[in-house]
Structure 1
Amino acid sequence: MNGSKAWISGCIGQRLNADERAFFADERPWGFILFGRNIGEPSQVRDLVAELKDTRGGDDVPVLIDQEGGRVQRLRPPFAPRFPPAAEIGRVYGDDEAAGRRAAWLQGRLLADDLLTGYGINTNCIPCLDLPSPGSHSIIGDRAYGDRPAVVATLGRAAAAGLAAGGVLPVMKHIPGHGRAEADSHLELPTVRASRAELESHDFQPFAELADLPAGMTAHIRFEALDPDRPATLSPRVISEIIRGALGFGGLLMSDDMSMKALQGDMAELARAAIAAGCDLALHCNGDLAEMRAVASGVPELADESLRRAERARAVIRAGATVPATDAMRAEFAELLAATA
């Protein structure tokens, strides 16, 4: 893969059109992301993934998806087995800690097999390390492993390790924490009013514990105690002082989707602001070519420390599967879930 610019792109349909192929060749996104609109039938998904990679000239081109389980699972039967939400893994852990850790690892490993072996998809946006709070919006809800930092960190690490063992890059989200949000950031910008001390003692903890993971995604959340004017994605203070500083995250940092309504303004300016704030990559998901052109115009070439972080993340993909997935693993996973139901 030749040099990349600092962004990740969606596409509009189930195959690339001529304009998209030419655009991606020119504007060289680091990777791509798939959504439900891109999924028609299994061979089509495989072909689309191959097309996307071909525009960038390498099998290790990152192709992302949100395949968490539960509500957030882009590939559903018959494309891939249905998996439980993270809260179900947390329930298993509450009954038997060893079984919960094993279930989290197995879910990660089996998701990797479904994605990479089935379709060539090599990056999954899990684990979700957010901690829901009373009164918060349901957008996180059962996507969380639980509401205790130590539990979420333990299970998130196990799931990430399972993914990596299957040759799939994990992307933890949403740094530095989406769980207190009282609104859906797809629709509007949430504001969190908790003190910094509250955030550091609770919300930030899972991210700090997993700060060695290779990749992470920001939260489109405004934290009044950290930066009352800008959401985390666009805040140099939050990214430098909190994400890179207090949390110690040294991995590849991508924005959440720039096309979500939490962010308002010119798309090129938003992308430029995210990179200036300290994001390594601007993520744009909706497939709108005019917006994609704007994002691409607002981001630089990947270089220096951002390039080094990106290469370390891609190394997980290049390493491939280190533990083979087996039918016995799928049976064991089903038994672990059933045993504590």
Structure 2
Amino acid sequence: MSEVNQCSKLNENYRKHLNQPKFYVKYKGVMLPKYFSKFGDKIEKMDIKTSDIWVCSFPRSGTTWTQEMVWCIVNDVNLEAAKEILPKRFPFLEISSICNDKETMSMYPGIEIPDYILNSVDYVINLQSPRLIKTHLPFKMLPIKLQQNTTGAKIVYVIRNPKDLCISYYHFSRAGGLTATFDEYIDRFLYANGPYKPYWDHMLGYLNQSHNPNILLLRYEDMLKDLKTVIYKTAKFLGKNMKENQVEKLVDHLSFRNMKENRFVNYDMLLEERKKCNIADTDASLIRCGKLNQWKEVMSLESIEKFEKWEKENLNRIGLSQYNDV
């Protein structure tokens, strides 16, 4: 098949996927890809190692940034070793449930889909220690042994103001072919079923474990305001003593400019293939802005009112008065 025809077929498949209402279905009360049922039991029964480190989050909460920070702390800020694509050295546990259609995935022209995507659960299980693992699963769907807190494995959970998260998710979805307007997307974000929802229940599952000494809660906003302090805090949690020069080196490595330009973490290779096939906008970027309170600049008053009503209802339900109380 010619590259033009490959692109045409890929474009068609993406549009179908994007508009397929049942691609995400409820699995144990959580919206997950319909293929997740193939992997759920295996994940639930996974053995957990004492040296495991998990980065958990709701999508678009600063996960990639947190992953790179954790990886560098664990590996003594070895930036030469970090010149390997992030999903390989810090794999996404359930990505196979999203990309389980080999035929569709193989349509990426010239790209061989690796095991850490097509067989992600087995890839994680077989990783050598220390295993660094990313997941967007809620706490109640993590491996049972990890939930039981009997192994000493570590969890870093990162949260983000839901208004800014929504903006980030909108641009992420545009990179995947979404054609809805921002206001249309806000309604979808607030009121429609979608991946890993309900959002507030996802957050609450981890907040309820804040007493657990093996769980560290980080805020995206704190990383933006004072990254150095967050690095020291995370290193202490992971049992790593970092020298001042290492921390300074890592702060620079994790700067928005360097993260955006770092092809080992910014997923530009994948985006370039999508752009070739006219799926993603030509200006799409998965590391896009890195600003605090973007919502104040881009949301309409009507959208802000909708959002704040939704926030108030859900914060009251989980016993908080505002997001900053987290």
Structure having the higher helix fraction is 2
Q: TM-score range by the shorter chain?
A: under 0.3
Report which structure shows greater RCO (CA 8 Å, sep ≥6): 2
TM-score, normalised by the number of residues in structure 1: 0.26
